[in-house]
């Protein structure tokens, strides 16, 4: 499989497949494809289907296979931002924010990832349930806004405001840290908690979380009459 990421603020990834090669997505992201791409919808087993549901994805997956020759299929982002490719292999799993998975090669597996520390899940802004991408192949994720990467050494930490964590290597750990100082909490405008990521591993941050966009736009929407 060869691919190219096209577009700027509303990108798409165009995948060029050889005969017999397949791509999988969670539904709704397919933008265009060649006529010889055959689609098959599957749940992948009850346990995996329920896990995908809890991780913010749909219960059913779509598998697209190039039949009778080379094929082309494109998957588009759903929000202004960026699409990032990830090389997934045994021992190199990636943790995504909820609903970040866009598409991947057929050997890529998506499952639910529970944050081991309850506090980080309840107060960290990224949610108690994340997505774990494992298996083998290339996976694509959509991030809100521009993506920024940091390589953390063992024990090195980075503090992140709510919603800006997009992905991290499975070797990283996630926790929360309380903002210090009553004045900072009450008047700082940054909330009570920050997400703390500890290396070793790479972390991907996003510059424009959807939740922040919603908060900015909320005052401009008329109040509901119900």
Q: Please state, in angstroms and rounded to a whole number, the distance separating the CA atoms of residues 64 and 29.
A: 12
What are the structural domains of the chain?
A: 2-220 (3.60.160.10)
Higher-scoring residue by pLDDT: 3, 49: 3
The residue among 37 and 180 whose pLDDT is bigger is: 37
- For the stretch 95-148, pLDDT in tens is 998 889 999 999 999 888 766 554 444 444 445 578 999 999 999 999 999 999
Query: Phi then psi for 95, rounded to 5 degrees?
Result: -105, 125
pLDDT in tens, 65-82: 999 999 999 999 988 999
Mean pLDDT, rounded, for 155-174: 92
What's the rounded mean pLDDT across residues 42-48? 54
The answer on pLDDT for 36 being more than 70 is yes
The pLDDT confidence band at residue 171, using thresholds 50, 70 and 90, is very high
Residue 188 has pLDDT above 60, yes or no: no
pLDDT class of 221 with cuts at 50, 70, 90: confident
Asked if 211 and 166 count as a contact pair (C-beta separation under 8 A), the reply is no
The pTM (predicted TM-score) of the whole model is 0.81
List for the chain the helix, strand, coil content (%; round to 5). 15, 50, 35
Quick one: tokens of 112? Answer: 């639910």
Mean predicted lDDT score pLDDT of the chain: 82
C-alpha 186: how far from chain center: 31
- Taking a C-beta distance cutoff of 8 angstroms, is the pair 95, 165 a contact? no
For a pLDDT cut of 90, what percent of the chain falls above it?
56
In three-state secondary structure terms, 214 is helix
First to last CA, the chain: 51
- Is the pLDDT at 41 greater than 50? The verdict is yes
Cα–Cα distance measured from residue 195 to residue 104, given in angstroms and rounded to the nearest whole number:
28
Given a cut of 50, whether residue 204 has pLDDT beyond it is yes
Tokens 């991290």 correspond to what residue? 168
């Amino acid at each position: 499989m060869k691919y190219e990421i096209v577009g700027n603020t509303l990108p798409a990834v165009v995948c060029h497949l050889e005969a017999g090669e397949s791509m999988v997505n969670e539904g709704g992201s397919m933008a265009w494809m060649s006529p010889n791409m055959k689609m098959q919808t599957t749940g992948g087993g009850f346990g995996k289907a329920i896990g995908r549901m809890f991780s913010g994805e749909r219960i059913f997956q779509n598998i697209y296979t190039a039949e009778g020759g080379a094929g082309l299929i494109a998957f588009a982002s759903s929000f202004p931002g960026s699409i990032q490719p990830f090389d997934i292999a045994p021992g190199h799993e990636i943790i995504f924010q909820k609903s970040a998975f866009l598409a991947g090669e057929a050997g890529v597996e998506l499952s639910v990832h529970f944050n081991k520390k309850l506090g980080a899940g309840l107060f960290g802004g990224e949610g108690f349930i994340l997505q774990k991408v494992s298996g083998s192949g290339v996976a694509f994720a959509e991030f809100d806004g521009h993506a920024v990467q940091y390589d953390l050494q063992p024990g090195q930490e980075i503090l992140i405001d709510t919603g800006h964590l997009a992905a991290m290597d499975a070797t990283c750990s996630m926790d929360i840290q309380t903002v210090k100082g009553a004045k900072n909490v009450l008047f700082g405008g940054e909330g009570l908690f920050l997400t703390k990521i500890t290396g070793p591993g790479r972390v991907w941050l996003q510059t424009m979380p959807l939740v922040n966009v919603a908060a900015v736009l909320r005052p401009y929407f008329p109040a509901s009459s119900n």
